A and B are shown apart, each in its own frame.
Chain A
Amino acid sequence: MSNDYDYAMERRLRELNLELHNRFTESVFGLQHILSNYLLIFPTFTDHTELHSLNVIDFCNSIIGSQLETLNADEIYSLLMGCYFHDTGMGIKEKDYEEFAKQIDFGDYFETHKDASIPDIIRDFHNEFSGLFIKKYSALFDIPSEEHLNAIIQISRGHRKTDLTDENEYPIAMPVESGNTICYPYLSALIRLADEIDVAVGRNLSFLYDSGTLTNKKDIIEFGKHEAIKDVFVYKDKFVLSVDTEDEFVYNNIKKMSKKMQKTLDECRFAVNGRTPHTLTQEFIEIKRIKETK
């Protein structure tokens, strides 16, 4: 990862609005406990704890780069909170699952996924569960207003499977009490991209995850990809996956994954560039292979 913009949002928020910065830093303690709950439901799943949130923040800082000055304090606060909150839906307790499931539009999911277990449902709709979780437990995090709460919910939900071009759900300039406005599609697109590119080996710390114990085929493939992707670099015009593997099966899976990433990038660019005052400058995903097949 690039480190030119390390902690840029956090520092900028402190500079612009100390009170919002304090609210953010005080939330981190509680959030890191909540985020660890996902391990109870998905013990072998790739990391979705606050360690992943840190990567998402780090990638957001790199993607925003020199455009940070175009973001106001309310936007930075909402984005940082969204980075921490976006996967809270992965760790909900059974009681909350029962309550939230009644409020989610599952469409034809149960017709097409007849054998879906509760963990399957949570994983496939975790952005929606995150939104409902934030709404229910917002008082724990001292979120300053309903407008900020709504922004954090929508930005967190928006990290996947939502239409960022829907002006009702993702307004370009939602006003808040300070007189600032919050650009929902840009902030959502940042988290969506950052989440999508957090695929390098470092995502799963070696002393917390032992890939040797995996038995589920899907988990083995996922970890195989992570282990082969040594780093992800953010450049102004592209994202580069640095891949080191001699295994063609793993490499082909990474190629498939990079196509999905490209699709996400294209969707995000469509939602942001030209439609909002902001620009996503990265245009494509590139794979740089360190070691070819023998």
Chain B
Amino acid sequence: MTVHTKKDNDTTTISVQGRIDTATSRELEAVVNQEINNCTQLIFDFKELDYISSAGLRILLGARKLMSKRGMKVINVNDTVNEIFEVTGFSYILDIERI
């Protein structure tokens, strides 16, 4: 998994490439931890994300809690990841933009 962060004024975009799973989620958690208090809008760009496990869903849900009064969305969601959001009910929780 590779994580890139881009800042544009008060918006932080975290782009993730590869797989978010138990083995890699701590790295993403550390990036979110570093960025989450320094932005008013947080965007997860999943254009190059292949898979997200439950460990990754927890990070999204945790981030959403903190960003609830600011803004958070998940963009460029592909079919594979979208299927996971739908099967788990997360499509009702997260602000999602598909590819």
Residues of A near any B CB (own CB < 8 A):
1, 3, 6-7, 10-11, 14, 21, 24-29, 32, 36, 50-51, 54-55, 57-58, 202, 205-208, 231
- B58 in the interface, Cβ–Cβ < 8 Å? yes
Scoring B residues 60 to 99 as 1 if CB is less than 8 Å from chain A, else 0, what string do you get? 0111011000000000000000001011111111000000
Interface of chain B, main secondary structure: helix
Tell me if B40 counts as interface (CB < 8 A to partner A). no
- The 14 sampled A-B contact pairs (Cβ below 8 Å) are A6-B54, A7-B84, A25-B87, A28-B90, A29-B89, A32-B61, A54-B61, A202-B22, A202-B55, A205-B62, A206-B30, A207-B36, A207-B63, A208-B65
Would you give the shortest CB distance from B77 to chain A, in whole angstroms?
16
Q: Measured between alpha carbons, how far is A26 from B25 in the docked complex, in Å?
A: 26
Q: A231 CA to B55 CA in the complex, in Å? A: 12
Structural contact, A205 and B29, CB atoms closer than 8 A:
yes
Chain B positions within 8 Å of A, measured between CB atoms, are 21-22, 25-26, 29-30, 32-33, 36, 53-55, 57-59, 61-63, 65-66, 84, 86-93
Query: CB < 8 Å: which of B21, B22, B88, B92 contacts A26?
Result: B92
How far, in whole Å, are A202 and B62 apart by their CA atoms in the complex? 12
Residue in B closest to A21 when the chains form the complex, CB atoms: B87
Asked if residues B58 and A6 are in contact (CB atoms below 8 Å), the reply is no
- Minimum CB distance partner of A52 in chain B: B58
The CA-CA distance from A54 to B22 in the complex, in Å, is 13
Contact across chains for A7 and B55 when beta carbons are under 8 A apart: no
| Cβ 8 A contact of B86, one of A25, A27, A32, A55 | A25
User: In the assembly, what is the distance between CA of A260 and CA of B15, in Å?
Assistant: 42
A-B contact count (CB 8 A): 76
- State A36–B66 Cα separation when bound (angstroms): 12
Cα–Cα, bound, A6→B65 (Å): 24
Q: Which of B29, B88, B92 contacts A207 (CB 8 A)?
A: B29
Q: Is the CB of A3 within 8 A of B22?
A: yes
Q: Please state if B87 and A7 are interface contacts (CB–CB under 8 Å).
A: yes
- Docked Cα-Cα span, A202 to B55, in Å, equals 8
8 residue pairs, one from A and one from B, having the closest CB atoms: A28-B89, A25-B89, A207-B33, A29-B92, A58-B54, A205-B62, A10-B87, A206-B33
What's the minimum C-beta distance from A239 to chain B, rounded to whole angstroms?
A: 15
Write out the residue numbers on chain B whose beta carbons fall within 8 Å of the beta carbon of A27. 89
Contact B66 A207 (CB under 8 A): yes
Q: How far is the CA of A36 from the CA of B89 in the complex (A)?
A: 17
- B61 in contact with A28 (CB, 8 Å): no
Q: For the complex, what is the distance from the CA of A36 to the CA of B65, rounded to whole Å?
A: 9
Bound Cα distance from A58 to B87, whole angstroms: 13
Q: Cα distance A11–B86 when bound, in Å?
A: 10
A207 contacts across to B, CB distance below 8 A: 29, 32-33, 36, 62-63, 66
Q: Of B29, B54, B87, B90, which contacts A14 at CB under 8 A? A: B87
